[in-house]
Chains A and B, each alone.
Chain A
Amino acid sequence: MSARRRPWRDCLPPPSHHPWPIGAPARPVDGSQSKEEAFRSQIDPHRCVESSLVRSGRVSDEIGASFRRASEKEAPIRGSQGDSPPLCKIPATKACTMPREIFGDSRFTQQELPACKPILTPRWVISAFMLVSIVFIPIGVASLFASRDVVEIVNRYETDCIPQPSRSDKVKYIQSSEDKTCNRTLRVSFLLLLIHLGSVYNMFEYQVPKHMKQPIYVYYQLDNFYQNHRRYVKSRSDEQLKNSNSESDTSSCKPEGTTANGSSIVPCGLIAWSLFNDTYSFSRNNQQLTVNKKGISWKSDREHKFGKDVYPKNFQNGAIRGGANLNSSIALSEQEDLIVWMRTAALPTFRKLYGKIEVDLQENEIIEVTLQNNYNTYSFNGKKKLVLSTTTWLGGKNDFLGIAYLTVGGLCFFLAMAFTIVYLVKPSCTFETLAKRNWLHTFDELSLKGAEGLGRRLGKVSEGSRAWWWRGLPVP
């Protein structure tokens, strides 16, 4: 070999610049700078000199210190060793000043804004699931208790209130003008359904006597009544309800906007027209129970939505009579039955508030109900129910909510346990997984894809041939 000999160890920088012992096994990879510092200095725009140094060295980081040693300047070889620059100076570029001016010294544009990077580590996952279950189970229990506090009496009457002889043609009966008074009795108790699965499938109903605290809400419940039908929902005029001047604003009320002679109906529309008109009166021990019908609607409806100076007009004057009639001397804002009815229900089965009984009802008390069964649900086989219910902070009786909460909470608890076990058995992925994973194991298969794509474009590969790479199979 003809090249001149130079002991390469001469290239070594003075020892003071190598704080680690030469050849020590675990020295920092990035020279005297720790990796973390190196990262930070890259991120930090103000430490640009170091950053560019690190960056240029990044390529062969792993070669590390020895990299520097081998690539040392010639100066220390030839001349004095001591006064040469110790590190292989890859010149720090001016990159930091100039473009910073152009781009604005902004971590935003460099996408280096400080960020939190939550990752789902086992601890996080388990804590999250635990947290959910800790929050959910008490809520579930609380709602279940609240729901159990509600006492609810449901009485279905649409068939019972039709005299036996008329039951063959209920529609005819309901449309007739005879008196439809009907008496019902309710016992203050709680209906409990028990399904007995013995040798025979049996369903028992138990009436559990329960005390009912006032206020007791009276609801009517209709079934199979499509208050949410688009034709129905749209058939109203908020303008007209609010404003006495907008009486003629009935364009949206079809087909119940105007009477046959063209004068407008107030309140117009199908909703108002089909107003529920069964009435209930309650008595206990032959003593009338007053049903308070004030304040059953939403306050904002009464005060802002239904005008105080808007009175019913031409209502139920048409050829076909719908539901209830309205007293044309009472302003709409006072007609709370109408206001409640006008809040159309979301589902075909719905309850609406009828009134409030503002006295307590004792256990096993018998309530006499006198009702006028006027409303036609018979055409569409709709059920009618009278409901007396108390409420709690949660509203009415709602077991489902509690059960749902308990279910989700329980599920989360289960998951938390499951993950805990998993992590106890199999602590963490990280290096071990990385080590198992051959980073490049799929490259060849991949490049096959790439080549195929390329080939297709270069030589218009026919479609039929795509199958093999798509399935990842080797080419036949």
Chain B
Amino acid sequence: MARGRIRARIRRSHLYTFACIRAQDAELEEPHQFEGPGYSRIVYCNEPRRHEKKPLNYCTNYISTTKYNIITFLPKAIFEQFRRVANLYFLLAAILSLTDVAPFSALSMIAPLAFVVGLSMAKEALEDWRRFIQDMKVNMRKAKVHKGNGVFGHKPWMKLRVGDVVKVEKDQFFPADLLLLSSSYEDGICYVETMNLDGETNLKVKRALEVTLPLEGDTGFKNFTGKIKCEDPNPNLYTFVGNLEYDRQIYPLDLSQILLRDSKLRNTTYVYGVVIFTGHDSKVMQNATKSPSKRSRIEKQMDKIIYVLFSLLVLISLISSIGFAVKTEFQMPEWWYLQPFVDSKLYDPTQPALSGLFHLITALILYGYLIPISLYVSIEVVKVLQAMFINQDIHMYDEETGTPAQARTSNLNEELGQVDTILSDKTGTLTCNQMDFLKCSIAGLAYGTRSSEVELAAARQMASELDGRDSMSSNKNGADASEIELETVVTCKDEKDQKSPIKGFSFEDSRLMHGNWVKEPNADVILLFFRILAICHTAIPEENEETGAFTYEAESPDEGAFLVAAREFGFEFCRRTQSSIFVRERHPSSEQPIEREYKILNLLDFTSKRKRMSVIIRGEDGQILLLCKGADSIIFDRLAKNGKMFEEPTTKHLNDYGEAGLRTLALAYRKLDEAEYSAWNNEFLKAKTSIGGDREAMLERVSDMMEKDLTLVGATAVEDKLQKGVPQCIDKLAQAGLKIWVLTGDKLETAINIGFACSLLRQGMKQICITTNTDTSAQDSKEAVKENVVMQITNASQMIKLEKDPHAAFALIIDGKTLTYALEDDLKHQFLNLAVGCSSVICCRVSPRQKALEADIGVGISGVEGMQTYKVLSFLQAVMASDFAIAQFRFLERLLVVHGHWCYKRIAQMICYFFYKNIAFGLTLFYFEAFTGFSGQSVYDDWYMLLFNVVLTSLPVISLGVFEQDVSSEICLQFPALYQQGPKNLFFDWYRIFGWMGNGLYSSLIIFFLNVIIFYNQSFRSGGQTADMSAVGTTMFTCIIWAVNCQIALTMSHFTWIQHLLVWGSVATWYLFLLLYGMLSPVYSGNAFQLLVEALAPAPIYWITTLLVTIACNLPYLAHLSFQRSFHPMDHHIIQEIKYYKKDVEDRHMWTRERSKARQQTKIGFTASVDATIRQLRGRLTKKYSTLPPQVAMSSPS
């Protein structure tokens, strides 16, 4: 409250000329006429009790995003589980296992299924529980609610009812959709940040109705009542239709009175509002469509493999059942020992077709081992663990805010490794949205000695190159010359200020600071420059009670930076009234600051179309001045003939600034005489009060008349600070081969600015703008517009083709509307080709819907206040809905290049291996079956098969999926180009998949036939006994266990004790199981009774066979791998080898060279900007060097 009082309560609407005008004529606005369905909601303001009965009993403000509750969990989760085709198949198999058809006992079918489904359900339950906890956190947030008699008290959000009057204070979220009644501002406006809704960072102005403005202070609501009739809950964020019945009058309501849930109150001390929509009725909740569960590309491909395997399954089942039918019909009658004609439903020689049909089912179940039942559950477990690692990565932990990275869904981990295009949102994601006043050019002289980040980096690099040259050549003069050159551009800059840095101000130049400007040649111009900074704006000052310093609530951060700069120069903007601006001017001549009043006569607002803003003031001396700031091109067009004094040097400076990645504005003024002004003002007033659609156009035209014949004063350069680490991150991402597209809802110019800010655009890049002319598009037919687009695209493509300069880079800037044309079927090839030819692509004016369409993976940045949201990688979802949340953009590098890379390879290898092992195992069943007259008998004990997928081979795969690292994280970061293995899909292409399948096929053949031949009919024990089915089966199974586990050990390239434990532990488990199983009563263990102890372990042939088969199975893979490593090594092989031989230590030059080579071709990003700057500097240097003798150059002062 105290702060509120200090802030001048101004009617802000007076400051705005046309952007924010409240329509004065109330009679123009009629209450909305609506009736019928869709508009039935009635809200009794401040009478929440009336909403306790039907039909007004609306839903509570309790929200729940959980999928299940305690009762529905079981049926729903089970249903979800069996929606998976594979699980359904196993369910059917389990059901059939209760009949005679099944080749296995019912238990061995049901147990793994129950295990797998149970595990998945446990995971679901855990995830849902987490969601519940999160919901409860939101539900328990406190809100101030009117409890009656003008007393407000705290209540949890979930207890809010429709009709409640709530008070929301600064920086709080709105608990429900509210109707704004009044605010701390006199005219009932408030500022709202809707980042959670649409991701836009700029503040939106909301205005209360005039009639509710008197409702002020807590007590004012004692007797407040009203009735709102409005639309029913709907998901449309941008419309609202309703009427307020208050004081027996009906007033229309629209969106500008509605405060939406999950948006935030900004720059406003408090607001009062009435709850209209609660909980799930609120717009944001209505909008929260159930996010379709996303599946990664790998998983989609995996489905295809499963189809392949299913077809294989069906094929061999068919072969088997045909074989069976034939055998049954022609041979079985001869097999008297089977008593073929007695009691034989399934083996009826008289009905071979029917038997064959039954057998088909049997075979389908039998060969089900081709389809890994535990695949899905293993992948899920692995992904959860991977997500855990992502969450716990200390390098992605933001210590400032204390937020770790967060993988919200674990479904897409490996998709992180396959990203090819990053769609990033605008400012805020990449930049801090904080502007620092860095340089200026006044009266043709450049001030400001600090360097922008781009310049700094260029200097560093040049210095290092210079060092290199120093050592090689002793060209003293050249070195000196470049030194000089370096210095004029760059002065060593401190990374961290000793003195406390002033937010928004990093200007440094003693010529202007501390009042020294008076001594400069054009002191009067400088004075004017500062005054423009201090006056020409729409900000409001706010005084800090303790220090007396002012902070400013500005519309844009640029303006804030200007005001801070003006303050630092001694022109402190301190007060604003309806008509005046007060500036405390500190002249070096006088000790005390003088407070000067500037009467604001008019304020011509900034619009994107105008690209400038002006104020017309009357100074204390009565002089009327028009002060104008705006985009340089606009201002330069409007200069008076005699106002171009500094145009040439200023233009040069502006170019320099632009090169250095700064945002520039030009400042100008015009002196007006009284008569001229009053004549113009009349027109302006006329335009202002005119009614009708063309009012704005008129205002614009009138303003235009005034803003001409300007005199140039100077230019400002503001640095839009990139977020920490962003340039490096973009750099690395560019090296990793990722395309970065910036999509923004902003206007073209803003978008370009952002492109510069985040190094996606740089000076010297050829910009290709493809737009549709907005003026004509309305009238023009669609065809004409399209033709226009086609022409632009063709021209641009032609331009790229004809470009000769190898360093030339192109940037494509396209607006959303054009994009829809460009992506139509007949054009898209051309367009995409063009897009690919360009180094960066910026899409502006993209509609939210277009944005939302393409999110493959959403990554949100969870920022300072918990919910601040940005979007990366299709950063197009709020954190709440995003798949990954990171605290800083720079963590994206690690998220993608390290975790994405790892996860991709892990999952890919894991799935390949899964199919390998199941094919290797499943096919042995088929071969054996062929030897049993296709009768569906398996050579293995039921228990072996039950354990195969669930216990004996699952943990090593999981360890592969969780812990595998082809190269360590440091190397991943050093060689971002390694990341390309993901987008190129090198580890999960069909070649590789079929390779693994072939390996599985080979292994199955080796395992089966070696065993069968070795154990054919000879005694295998020294006691003369021959091997029976259980002995053969067990040996074969031992071979499988060894072979697949050795295979995975070969596949792994990173062994910690965990991998060792799991891989070799699995093998040990098999022997342990066999031992224990053999110790059970023979009633349970059957022929496996004491098998290991008595028969197999003492028989050398058992061990010898195991060794032979294991080695024989793994030989081809080993050979292939060695061959590949020596003839076609993959990138990570080479790097592994370099690290292994410590070549990077021994041969540092090479290492450095290779690493820098990896980034040579990137055309965007920080490095590219730096490179370009260096090229330019060199160019200039040679020029200078040729024109000036070295001595002169050396001694030339500034």
Contacts and interface: CB of A to CB of B under 8 A. Distances in A.
Contacts of B389: 109, 111
Interface stretch (A23-31, A162-170, A195-203, A362-370): A23-31
B691 to A, nearest CB: 41
A230 B1056 contact: no
Interface string B321-345: 0000000000100111111001110
Interface stretch (A280-288, A324-332, A391-399): A391-399
Contacts of A263: none
A115 B1056 contact: yes
A444 B832 CA distance: 12
Interface string A431-443: 1011101011011
B1089 A304 contact: yes
B542 to A, nearest CB: 31
A443 B737 contact: yes
A99 B394 contact: yes
B495 A397 contact: no
B334 A379 contact: yes
A349 interface: yes
Contacts of A25: 471
Given A63-B461, A91-B496, A434-B1154, A23 B471 contact: yes
Candidate in A426, A450, A468 with the most chain B CB atoms within 10 angstroms: A450
Nearest to A228: B932
Contact of B739 (A58, A129, A221, A451): A451
Contacts of B1121: 120
A98 B389 CA distance: 17
Interface string A293-326: 0011111110011000000000000001011000
Contact of A446 (B420, B819, B1147, B1155): B420
A242 B1083 CA distance: 8
A239 interface: yes
Candidate in B490, B832, B973, B1119 with the most chain A CB atoms within 10 angstroms: B832
Interface string A1-37: 1111111111100000000001111101100001110
B1017 A351 contact: yes
Nearest to A409: B1111
Contacts of A192: none
Interface residues of B, number: 184
Interface in B557-572: none
A11 B492 contact: yes
A126 to B, nearest CB: 9
Contacts of B828: 455, 459, 461, 465
B963 interface: yes
Interface in A416-441: 419, 422-423, 426, 428-431, 433-435, 437, 439-440
B1025 interface: yes
B1126 A122 contact: yes
Nearest to B846: A458
Interface size class on chain A is: 35 or more
B808 interface: no
B445 to A, nearest CB: 6
Contacts of B829: 465, 468, 475-476
B1055 A70 contact: no
A304 B1026 contact: no
B936 A230 contact: yes
A226 interface: yes
A64 B464 contact: yes
Chain B contact residues: helix, strand, loop or mixed: helix
B952 to A, nearest CB: 21
Interface in A364-423: 376, 379-381, 389, 391-398, 400-401, 404-405, 408, 411-412, 415, 419, 422-423
B182 interface: no
A66 interface: yes
B932 A230 contact: yes
A24 B471 contact: yes
Interface string B857-880: 000000000000000000000000
Contacts of B980: 439, 442-443, 446
Contacts of B1136: 117, 119
A289 interface: no
Interface in B1135-1175: 1135-1138, 1140-1145, 1147-1152, 1154-1158, 1160-1162
A380 B349 CA distance: 15
A6 B1028 contact: no
A381 B1108 CA distance: 35
A440 B1162 contact: yes
A159 B1151 CA distance: 80
B1010 interface: yes
A217 interface: yes
Interface string B1018-1047: 111111111111111100000000000000
A110 interface: yes
A264 interface: no
Interface string A100-132: 101100000111011111111110010011001
Contacts of B591: none
A113 B1033 CA distance: 39
Contact of B833 (A8, A93, A454, A475): A475
A226 B347 CA distance: 14
Given A305-B1089, A379-B334, A422-B1126, A346 B1015 contact: yes
A458 B832 CA distance: 12
A238 interface: yes
A135 to B, nearest CB: 8
A3 B467 contact: no
B1055 A2 contact: no
A155 interface: no
A419 B1118 CA distance: 12
A217 B823 contact: no
B772 interface: no
Contact of A119 (B832, B1019, B1031, B1137): B1137
A408 B1138 contact: no
Given A449-B420, A459-B823, A217 B1134 contact: no
Contacts of B983: 446, 449-450
B1137 A346 contact: no
Interface string B482-522: 01101111111111101000000000000000000000000
Nearest to A34: B1145
Nearest to B389: A111
Interface stretch (B44-52, B670-678, B1096-1104): B1096-1104
A5 B1198 contact: yes
Interface in B388-402: 388-389, 392-395, 397, 399, 402
A55 B935 CA distance: 65
B459 interface: yes
Contacts of B732: 59
B250 interface: no
B1112 interface: yes
Given A8-B486, A452-B832, A458-B853, A217 B495 contact: no
B1147 A70 contact: no
Contacts of B974: 58, 61
A446 to B, nearest CB: 6
Given A238-B1083, A398-B1101, A446-B984, A345 B1029 contact: yes
B1019 A217 contact: yes
Interface string B31-68: 00000000000000000000000000000000000000
B318 interface: no
Nearest to A39: B970
Contacts of A435: 1150, 1154, 1157
Candidate in A231, A296, A300 with the most chain B CB atoms within 10 angstroms: A231
B563 to A, nearest CB: 26
18 contacts: A23-B471, A73-B494, A99-B394, A221-B1017, A226-B338, A274-B336, A298-B1095, A348-B932, A394-B1100, A395-B1022, A400-B1013, A429-B1125, A429-B1129, A429-B1137, A434-B1138, A446-B420, A458-B823, A458-B854
Return the 7 tightest CB-CB contacts between A and B, nearest first: A459-B823, A450-B420, A396-B1018, A66-B464, A343-B1028, A1-B488, A274-B337
